[in-house]
Amino acid sequence: MNKQIFGIECPGCGIQRSISYLLDGNFIDALKIYPAIYTLILLVGFVGASLMFNFKNSFKIKIYLLYLNAGIIIISYIYKMTHLIH
């Protein structure tokens, strides 16, 4: 929708297609469409697990994973915008 209205993609563009590719078993295509998909799954999984179990340094791990995801999303967005990958 963002691309249709403003003519440019948002940093989250591609995540739904990436999830669809994952569900279809196309793991490489999922990574190509949205490079942060696997680290996002790791983050969500760790946050969920930390709600059930008490991990040592879980807050630091969550912050690290959050920064890692933000970095991947920002870098891939900049790359996408400068190289016009669709």
Looking at residue 14, its pLDDT comes to 85
Q: With H, G, I as helix, E, B as strand and everything else as coil, classify residue 78.
A: helix
The vertex-17 CA angle with 71 and 64, nearest 5°, equals 25
Is the pLDDT at 7 greater than 80? The verdict is no
CB pairs under 8 A, 24+ apart, for 56-60?
A: none
Q: Helix and strand tally (H, E) in the chain?
A: 5, 0
Euclidean distance between CA atoms 75 and 58, whole angstroms: 26
- Residue 85: which pLDDT band, with cuts at 50, 70 and 90? low
pLDDT (tens digit, 9 = 90+) per residue, 17-75? 999 999 999 999 999 999 999 999 999 999 999 999 998 999 999 999 999 999 999 99
